[in-house]
A and B are shown apart, each in its own frame.
Chain A
Amino acid sequence: MMELDRRQFLQAGGTAAVLGTAGCDAPHKALWPYTGLPNEAKPPFAPPSGDSIDLATHTLNRLTFGARPGQHERILRLARREEDAVDKFIDEQLASEKINDDRAEFRVKKFETLALAPIGEFYEFRPHILREELTRATLTRAVYSERQLYEVMVRFWSDHFNIDISKGECKWLKPADDRDVIRPHALGKFPELLAASARSQAMLTFLDGRENRVRKPEDRPNENYARELLELHTLGIHGGYTQQDVMEIARCLSGWRIGRGLFQVGKVQFEPGLHDNRTKTVLGETIPVRTGRDGRKDFDDVLRIVAAHPSTGRHIASKLCQRFIADEPPAAAIDTVAREFTKTKGDIRETLRALFATDEFRGTRGNKFKQPLHFLASALRGIDAESDVGRPLVNYLERMGHMPFEYPAPDGYPTHAEPSMSTLLWRWNFAAKLAQGQIKGTRIQHERLTKRAGDSAKLAAHLLGRQPSDDELAAAKASGNPIGLLLSSPGFQWS
C-alpha cells in the first residue's frame, strides 16, 4: 500500500504534481490526509416505489444500519429478478473483506488510540480518551462503512460478549478486545471468536477470570466467567448444564492471569501453581489429571466442549434470529439456522447465509424496533449527512441509553423492542435538530437531497422504504420540518 509522509509529499511537489503522476481526477488515498476526503459523486437516485416494504428495502433494513440514497436502486440493478439481486447483495455483504472501505477507514484513522500496538501502550492514555475514541469510531463505522453487515455483526458480538468498559482495567483493555477479538472474528468462525474472547484481557478482567486461582485443594475457584460462558456465551440458560458443570469449568480455567511485570504488562499467562490439576468432568466429558504446564490444555478442552455442544448452536441461532427476524422468532427458522451452525462447526458467514435464505427472514418485514444506535445511524445515512461524529452527536446516544461498551451487566443491550421505546423524546429531538442543521459537526444538504430524490414525496419514500401515506405527506408538510418529521415518524422507528 502506498503511504506518503508529509516530507515525501512536499518533495513530490505538492498535490498537482502527484495528481499528475497518478493520472486521475481524485487524489490518491495516500494523499487524503492532506487533501481531505474527495467529494463523493451524489447522483440522482430512484427511491423504492412499493406501497409496502419490498425485499430490497427489507434486506437493507436488516443487514445494514439503514439505506443511503441510491442503495436500493443499486441492489435492484444487481440482477433482473429482485430475489436474485438481493441474493447478490447478501453475498457481497457476507464477503465483507472484498468490499473497499477506504473512505470509512480514513474517517476513523484520526482516532489514534485504535491503532496502539501492544496492549501495554493503552495504559499510557487517559481512560476517557480511549472510551471517547472507541465510541466515536464505532458510530463512525456504523454510519460510513460500506461493510455494513460486518459492522452490524460487530455490534451483535459486542453485546453477546459484553464488556462494560467502566469496570476496573477494562478502561484500558476494551479497545484491544474490540480490535483483536470482536472485529477479526465477527464474520468468522464462532469457536475461534469464543477462544479469542476467553483469552481476552478485557474479558478476563470483566468476568474475573484473572482472579480464578486454586492454591490449595480446598480453595474455591471464582465461578463468574465459567457461569457466563455457559449461560450467555455458549449453551444458554436452558442449555442443559448444571451448577456442577459451572464449578468444574471454573476449576479447569483456574490459574490464568494477566502479567504485570516489566515487558509482561497485559500478557495472558498460565501459572501452574494456581491451577487445579485434579481430574474434572465437564458436560459429561472427563478432563484428565494434568500436571505442570500441561494444565493449560484444560482451557482448550473446555472451549472445544462448549463450542461444539448442540445447545450452543441453538442458543446462537435464536439470538441471531431475534436480531434479524423478530423479537419472538419462529421456531422453524431457529431450527434451520441452528442446523447450519452445527453443520458448519460454527461458521458465522454460512450460518447467516442460511438465516437470510429462510422464508421467515424474507417474509417478516418492518417488525423490528430500531435500537437507538440503529435509529441514529439510519437517520444520518438516510439523509447522507456529513458528520464528524463528535460529542454533540454522541450525546444523543447517551440520552437514548445506548452507548456502546457501557451496558452495565454481562448480557449486553436487549434487542427486543420495549426497552428502546422509552426515549422517543430524544429521537424526535435529535431528528428535528439534525434536519435543521442544529447538531454541531453534522451537516445536511436539504435541497440537493430532495433534488436527487426527485421531489419531496420521493424523498419520503426513500426514508420510509415505501410510498408514504397521504397522512405522512400531509404531516411532513404541515410540520415545517419535513425531513425531521419523517425521521421522527412511527414508520422510521421500525426496520
Chain B
Amino acid sequence: MKQAKATLHGNGDLWQTLVVVFLRGGADGLALMPAVGDDDYHRARPFTAVSKTAALKLDDRFGLNPLMNALEPAVKEGALSAVHCVGSGDTTRSHFEAQDLMEHGGHTGGGWLGRFLRFRERASGGALSAVALGQAVPESLRGAPAATAMQSLNDFSFSGGDKFVQSLEQLYGGQIGVFGARARDTFNALGRIRELHAKDYSPANGADYSVDRFARELRLASQLIKARVGVEVITIDLGGWDSHLSQGPLISPLMRRLANGLAAFRRDLGAAMRQTTVVVMSEFGRRVSENSALGTDHGRGGVMFVLGGDGAEGRVIADWPGLKRDALVGPGDLAVTTDFRDVLIPILRRHALDADMAKIFPGHEPRPLGQAAGDA
C-alpha cells in the first residue's frame, strides 16, 4: 500500500494542481469587480466607475470589469468564484508587509504553500511538486520540500542524456524500500519530462494565448500540468497594479491580460480543469475614492478569484459593508470582512485531505465562508 502511494505521489498521477496568481502592487478590487449595483460606488468613482450595463454581471450588486469579458464563459458555466472585501489583518498598507503577511499565511515564518506541501501525512512532495514561474521562488513557497523557480522548460531539462539515465537505472534497479520507490518515481518523472521536450506544445481546444509574459507562463503551467510530472503547486506573479495615478491606462491592459490568460488556460486544460484550481489574490485593495491624479491609494479589502472546473465554483462571496463613510475603515478603505485564509482553506482541503490547517495557518481560527450573496 505504502509503495503504491509513493508511486502515485511522485509521478504526477496524483493529478491535482493549485495555481496561485499573485497580483503584485495591490490590485483595485473595485475596478476588477465593481459594485455596479451600489449607488455609492458610482458616487465614489465619478471618473472611473464602470456602468451597470457595461459590466459582466455576477449578481445584482457586482459585476466584472468589461475588460475581463474573456471570462464570460467561465462565469456562465459556474467555473469562477469572486470574493470581495477579502484581505489580511495588515493595517500598514505597505506592499512589503502586506505581501509578506499574505504569502506567509499570517504572522509566521515560511510560506503557506510551503507548509501545505510539507505538513501532511503523506509527507514530502516530489522533486517537481512546486514550481515558481519566474526568476525566484516567492515567499509563499518558503519551506517547501522542493521548490523550483523556472522561466522556461529548459530550466527543467535533465542534462544527463539517455545513456546517463540508462546507467543510473541499472544502478538503482536493485534498490528496495522507500529509496527504491523514490528512484522509480524519479525515472517516471524523467520519462515524462523527456516527452515534454520531444514535441512542440500546441494548446488544446483552440485556446489562444497572447504573447505577454503572463500568458506565456500560464501556457507553460498548462503544459506542465498535462505532462503529469507531479506538479502540485504553481505560482505566477502578475505585477504592476500599484495605480496611484491615471489608473485607467495603467491597469486596463493588466485586467485584459489577466482575464485573457485565465480564459485561454481554462480552455487549454479542458477536462483537466477538474483537477486544477486557480487562485488569484493581491496584497490589498485600494482606497475607495479616486485621488486627484485619477488614481487610487493603498487600501484594505480587495478581491480574490477562484477558477475551477465547470460548476465547481460560480459563487459571489461578499460580506458587503457598503461604501458609506461610516462603513469604511482608516482613511476611507473598504473593510476586510473575509479573511483570505478562509477562502484558501476549503481549496487546500480539496487538494489534500490530510493537509494540517493548524500548521499551515498557525494561530488562525477558520470561519466558514459566507453563503452566496445576492440572487445570482
Contacts and interface: CB of A to CB of B under 8 A. Distances in A.
Q: Which of B129, B159, B186 has the most CB of A within 10 A?
A: B159
Nearest to B104: A166
A421 B178 contact: yes
A42 interface: no
A490 B146 contact: no
Given A421-B178, A424-B182, A475-B170, A164 B127 contact: no
A363 interface: no
A328 B156 CA distance: 36
Q: Which of B127, B161, B186 has the most CB of A within 10 A?
A: B127
Given A165-B109, A424-B127, A490 B167 contact: no
Nearest to A372: B146
A490 B161 contact: no
Interface residues of B, number: 51
Interface string A297-326: 000000000000000000000000000000
A459 interface: no
Contacts of A484: 160, 164
Interface in B177-219: 178-179, 182-183, 185-186, 189-190
Contacts of A485: 164, 167-168, 171
B352 interface: no
Contacts of A164: 108-110, 142-143
Nearest to A407: B143
Nearest to B193: A425
Contact of A425 (B142, B143, B171, B186): B186
Interface in A263-294: none
Interface string A466-484: 0000011011101111001
Nearest to A438: B159
A35 interface: no
Nearest to B10: A422
Contacts of A488: 160, 168
A474 B167 CA distance: 8
Given A417-B178, A479-B167, A424 B186 contact: yes
B3 interface: no
A419 B104 CA distance: 22
A471 B174 CA distance: 11
A403 to B, nearest CB: 8
Contact of B160 (A165, A423, A432, A490): A432
B168 A475 contact: yes
A433 B171 CA distance: 19
A67 B161 CA distance: 28
Interface stretch (A50-58, A108-116, A392-400, A450-458): A392-400
Interface string A405-432: 0111100000001110111111011001
Q: Which 4 A-B pairs have the closest CB atoms?
A: A408-B110, A164-B109, A167-B109, A408-B143
Interface of B: 10, 100, 104, 107-111, 114-115, 118-119, 123-129, 137, 139, 142-149, 158-161, 163-164, 166-168, 170-172, 175, 178-179, 182-183, 185-186, 189-190, 359
Given A478-B163, A479-B163, A481-B161, 15 more contacts: A164-B109, A167-B108, A401-B145, A406-B143, A407-B110, A407-B143, A408-B115, A422-B182, A425-B128, A426-B127, A428-B160, A429-B158, A432-B160, A432-B164, A475-B167
